[in-house]
Amino acid sequence: MTLTPKQRVELHEFNNLTKSLSFNMYDICYTKTKEERQAYIEYIDEQYNSDRLTQILIAVSDIIGAHVLNVAKQDYVPQGASVTVLVSEGPVVEVPTESFEESPGPLPDNVVLQLDKSHITVHTYPEYHPDEGISTFRADIDVSTCGEISPLKALNYLIHSFDTDIMTIDYRVRGFTRDINGHKLFIDHEISSIQNYIPDEVVDAYHMIDVNVYQEHIFHTKCKLKEFDLNNYLFGYTKDKLSPQEQAEITELLKTEMDEIFYGRNISS
């Protein structure tokens, strides 16, 4: 089904389709000692505490044109944070034509989009390997909307909000709505790939793999950063403090960790 802004379907009631975006990001770091690991986790907990995460989710609600009804947030001990934002339909201007196009969404403060009801959640998961010096941080963000706009329009902002080595992105349209003749509509916009909602400069920076089930309206994209600079993965010092052998060993550990997360399986050494 192809819809353009001029080919709007008149619905029986409101748009009952549920569109869900799951955005998972991973940050990876080499932490040689227990003290370094603890310092890294403390840094992550401060950088992505519940207050900062709340600001990110409220910006997402602005992008999709929603009113925030309620915010529940929690910083956990010893680590991690969660935020849930319940939102309702915001003040609606004319639905922009780009809402029907496969293109990256806006950054905040330049567009208002339409939805009926929604929730947005984020959970963080700092952790570390028991003996190999690898620490990882994962943030899971879920945006679920009912209405005319896909939450994929918030993806551009989410990517810009995190410094991420690996991203896994899932998008699914569920349920159905009806036109005035009772005919069911199981999706209300064209989509061929989540990649089309990611800015070109981000696409160019990552290796990307799609796993899509078009007939079920299920879309999955995995992204791994192409460039590798060891200095970006050391916490508190640079690679010039390491011997060539240490640099090679640490690089292998980090790349193996990234590959295992990207491909979703353990890789034998």
pLDDT at 247 over 80: yes
Supply the pLDDT for residue 115.
45
pLDDT at 3 over 90: no
C-alpha to C-alpha distance for 78 and 178, rounded to whole angstroms? 48
pLDDT at 229 over 60: yes
DSSP 221: E
Sign, CA dihedral 57-28-233-235, equals positive
Token match 């080499």: residue?
A: 30
pLDDT band at 92; cut points 50, 70, 90: very low
Supply the pLDDT for residue 259.
95
pLDDT at 11 over 80: no
pLDDT at 77 over 90: no
* More confident: 21 or 97: 21
Q: What average pLDDT does the segment 95-102 reach?
A: 56
pLDDT band at 106; cut points 50, 70, 90: low
Phi/psi for 62 (5° steps) reads -65, -40
Supply the pLDDT for residue 93.
46
Q: What average pLDDT does the segment 214-219 reach?
A: 93
The one-letter amino acid at 56: I
Which residue segments constitute the domains of the chain, with CATH numbers given? 13-89+113-263 (3.60.90.10)
Tens of pLDDT, residue by residue over 111-151, are: 444 445 578 899 998 888 877 789 999 999 999 887 666 78
- In 3-state terms the chain splits into helix, strand, coil percentages (rounded to 5) of 30, 35, 35
Tens of pLDDT, residue by residue over 152-191, are: 888 999 998 888 999 999 999 988 888 778 888 888 888 8
Supply the pLDDT for residue 88.
74
CA nearest to 126, candidates 140, 113, 116: 140
Instruction: Just list the catalytic residues.
Output: 118, 123, 146
Strand partners, 172: 20, 218
Tens of pLDDT, residue by residue over 19-74, are: 899 999 999 999 988 888 888 888 888 889 999 999 998 888 888 777 788 889 99
